[in-house]
Amino acid sequence: MPGKARRAKKATSKATVHKSSRLPTKVLETKYIFVTGGVVSSIGKGLTAASLGALLEARGHKVSMMEFDPYLNVDPGTMSPFQHGEVYVTEDGAETDLDLGHYERFTSMVASRANSVTTGQIYEQVIAKERRGDYLGGTVQVIPHITDEIKSRIFDVAQGAEVVIVEIGGTVGDIESLPFLEAIRQMRVDVGHEHCIFVHVTYVPYIRVAGELKSKPTQHSVKELREIGIQPDFLICRSEVPIDHNLKSKIGLFCSVRPENVIAAVDASTIYEVPLVLSNERFDEKVVGRLGLHREIATPSLDGWQRIVNVLKEPKQEVTIGIVGKYVDLTESYKSLNEAIVHGGIANNTKVKIEYIDSETVEKSTVASLLSHVQGILVPGGFGERGAEGKVLAIQFAREQQIPFFGICFGMQLAAVEFARHVCGIPDATSREFALGLKRGVRNFVIDFMEEQKNIKDLGGTMRLGAYDCHLQSNSLVRTIYGADMIRERHRHRYEFNNKYRGLFEKHGMNLSGICRDRDLVEILELRDHPWFIGVQFHPEFKSKPLIPHPLFTSFVQAALQARKG
């Protein structure tokens, strides 16, 4: 019996010890930055991580970024936008958290499904391995099996990167985040102290009645981290008012962080000011020093970010864009879209005032009063019949009143429905998506299932997702806007324009100006004899950056400006 016990103990030890010497040399050379958050949720971990990525890139370093989300969903694809905000789609078709949008907008990285990991994905993979017998009959535990799976995802992203920035979702103290925090605690042992730093984003509340900033919540948050075994190297202290040196010293003393590594991050007027705020605190300089990063640019140029902030604070002109949708209560539901419109304004040195219009309030009697004052109308992506008729009325108003119109995904589909009904003479034209609520006998599904979608029952991960090629008509407006005859854009939808109606649409003045030739699908509708009327089946907002605005949004804002002047 003692011999068996010794053998069992030896086997357990072998399973749980993860020696850094077994890691690939390239992975060991990579630097790792782990970003956690405390005190309250929505504190800005994603923006902090993205801004640090932008600053490191400005210094000449190759950066990759990833996020761990602690919820059990495999991905956010079936989650309500009211709960979770928008679903961001990557080039390879992953449905991810909106923070990946920040990563791509602020840096040059092109995200993939490897850059977004949920608890659901981790457990799904570990259970699949256990079912295959990969663990040789051993007991499957959070440590080491779950934590090893988490670390393996980090090492996968580390391939080819000089610096990997990893955001841990949730708030320190949440039970859901514990496996991720334990995994990154182990990472410092695996890769070495000199290759790994912890950045903790926290909140320093200002008690207005007392006229004081309070550091106690930050102290308690760091205490939670230290009990797990993580000592932060840097504290990013969010606050409404500036934090002085005395308070930094106090926070540093009680949190065992050097005062110069307590970084003040006072609320900025725009998210694009955050890289400048952190740079003014010399955050990036301290990070590269702590990690021993070489080949850095001594004085990185942030002129582009400064120009963006200048335009947003002191624009030369203003234009109003009306977004007609059903998620008007939460701007997070259209996060990438909102930012892409702002980018279009930056390109035109213009402040864009976005006005959200609840599509359920748009009726024949109200459409003019709701939309007459805007210079551009945009109908975004979405799902379901609720509010759809209000969107159709808004599109009809834009078409008839010659107001610049931009339809994205569902917005493009409803533009097709509106055109079929009121121009092509098909009063019952509709989308297959609304079939359950329709009377029997309706035959004119201008928008219909793709053939391969007809027998699908699962909702998650079964849509047309990711980037596809689109060929542009040579004499089209979109060909001029893009300056290319072939583009590649990202999709997230289940229904398509019905090719049965192509000839009829062309006959009545609607150009089918973008085609996915590989699948013979209509991607872009463009109305002739209209100043600017474009509907796209894809989501161009996912590829827009503040430093490189998407051409469609730049052109749309420009058209709205011309409408305003006219």
Taking residues 112-119, what's their average pLDDT? 94
Measured between alpha carbons, how far is 243 from 212 in angstroms, rounded to an integer?
A: 10
Averaged confidence pLDDT in the chain: 89
Taking residues 405-429, what's their average pLDDT? 96
What's the Cα-to-Cα distance from 117 to each of 65, 73, 90, 124, rounded to whole Å? 12, 10, 13, 11
Predicted local distance difference test score (pLDDT) of residue 296: 64
Catalytic residue among 145, 491, 493, 539: 539
Long-range contacts of 540-544 (CB under 8 A, 24+ apart): 540/340, 540/408, 540/489, 541/336, 541/337, 541/339, 541/340, 541/408, 542/88, 542/89, 542/101, 542/104, 542/336, 542/490, 543/104, 543/489, 543/490, 544/105, 544/336, 544/339, 544/340, 544/343, 544/344
Is residue 409 part of the annotated active site? The answer reads: yes
Predicted local distance difference test score (pLDDT) of residue 333: 77
Which residue did the predictor score with more confidence, 384 or 290? 290
Measured between alpha carbons, how far is 449 from 341 in angstroms, rounded to an integer?
A: 30
Neighbours of 450 (CB within 10 A): 15
pTM assigned to the model:
0.89
Banded model confidence at residue 32, pLDDT cuts 50, 70, 90:
very high
Taking residues 388-394, what's their average pLDDT? 95
Banded model confidence at residue 69, pLDDT cuts 50, 70, 90:
very high
| 11 HSE (CA, 13 A, CB side) | 11
Contact 534, 550 (CB under 8 A): no
Contact 181, 228 (CB under 8 A): yes
Measured between alpha carbons, how far is 235 from 259 in angstroms, rounded to an integer?
A: 9
Res. 285: pLDDT tops 70: yes
Predicted local distance difference test score (pLDDT) of residue 210: 87
User: Looking at this protein, which amino acid is placed at residue 399?
Assistant: R
CA-based Rg of the chain, rounded to a whole angstrom?
26
pLDDT digits (tens, 9 = 90+) for 535-562: 999 999 999 999 999 999 999 999 999 9
Is residue 539 part of the annotated active site? The answer reads: yes
Q: How does DSSP classify residue 532? A: S
Predicted local distance difference test score (pLDDT) of residue 327: 64
In a 3-state reduction of DSSP, which class is residue 215? coil
User: Looking at this protein, which amino acid is placed at residue 75?
Assistant: D
Predicted local distance difference test score (pLDDT) of residue 136: 87
- Looking at 107-111, 203-207, 447-451, which range is the least confident one? 447-451
Predicted local distance difference test score (pLDDT) of residue 23: 59
- Looking at 164-168, 243-247, 309-313, 333-337, which range is the least confident one? 333-337
Taking residues 496-510, what's their average pLDDT? 95
Residue percentage of the chain with pLDDT more than 90: 76
Catalytic residue among 255, 409, 424, 516: 409
Catalytic residue among 67, 86, 489, 541: 541
SS3 for 69-104, per residue?
ECCCCCCHHHCCHHHHCCCEECCCCCEECCHHHHHH
Taking residues 354-366, what's their average pLDDT? 93
pLDDT digits (tens, 9 = 90+) for 78-92: 676 666 678 899 999
